[in-house]
């Protein structure tokens, strides 16, 4: 049975937060702390929301999610649908949930006249890389993710000395 895909509703916040923690555990990263969980809740339910969420559900259980938002491509002069997270519980994989989430994200990109859909994948996560290739996605090896956080971000912003 292919999972159904639906948008996040307020009663789903607790399960979303648990899935985000499950993704962090899978990626061997620290999950959101209490303050971050509060911000996630606030931003998910804001009007307009800070990000959008799709949930994969089977037999009344949420088994996966995708978080996305729009960015903009100046070269294409169109929006880009950026996927921040996509995750399906490991024991629920291979039942079509990941594909169903990606198909709904692609439909959303089409509805919004996006020129592309983009996301990141960890270099060690070969099952995910194989899955994305099976969808027809290409990996951009020539691009490198660059990031400013914490004190470095504060110093550049002039808020830290």
Structure tokens belonging to residue 68: 């996305």
Report yes or no: 87 and 102 within 8 Å, Cβ to Cβ. no
Tell me, yes or no, whether 82 lies in a domain: yes
Give the per-residue pLDDT at 93: 94
Mean pLDDT by 10 residues, the chain (161 residues): 94 98 96 98 97 97 98 98 98 95 98 97 94 95 92 91 63
The residue segments making up the domain with residue 75 are: 4-119
Tell me, yes or no, whether 59 lies in a domain: yes
Q: How many domains does the chain have?
A: 1
CATH code for position 36: 3.40.630.30
What is the C-alpha separation between 90 and 110, in angstroms, rounded?
Answer: 29
Give the per-residue pLDDT at 161: 63
Q: Any idea which residues carry the catalytic annotation?
A: 132
What is this structure's pTM? 0.94
Torsion of CA 96, 101, 103, 107, to 10 degrees: 160
Query: Strands across the sheet with 52-58, in order?
Result: 4-7, 52-58, 61-73, 78-88, 116-119
Tell me, yes or no, whether 128 lies in a domain: no
Report yes or no: 72 and 112 within 8 Å, Cβ to Cβ. no
Report yes or no: 53 and 16 within 8 Å, Cβ to Cβ. yes
Q: Report the half-sphere exposure of 130 (CA within 13 A, side-chain side).
A: 5
Tell me, yes or no, whether 153 lies in a domain: no
Tell me, yes or no, whether 144 lies in a domain: no
């Amino acid at each position: 049975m292919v999972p159904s895909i639906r948008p996040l509703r307020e009663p789903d916040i607790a399960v979303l937060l648990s899935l985000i923690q499950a993704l962090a555990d899978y990626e061997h990263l620290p999950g959101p702390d209490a303050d971050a969980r509060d911000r996630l809740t606030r931003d998910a339910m804001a009007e307009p929301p800070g990000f959008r969420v799709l949930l994969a559900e089977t037999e009344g259980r949420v088994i996966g999610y995708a978080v996305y938002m729009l960015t903009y491509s100046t070269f294409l002069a169109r929006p880009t649908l950026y996927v921040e997270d996509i995750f399906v519980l490991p024991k629920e994989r291979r039942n079509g949930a990941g594909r169903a989430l990606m198909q709904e994200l692609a439909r959303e990109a089409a509805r919004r006249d996006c020129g592309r859909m983009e996301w990141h994948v960890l270099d060690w996560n070969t099952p995910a890389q194989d899955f994305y290739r099976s969808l027809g996605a290409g990996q951009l090896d020539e691009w490198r993710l660059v990031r400013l956080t914490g004190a470095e971000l504060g110093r550049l912003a002039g808020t830290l000395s």
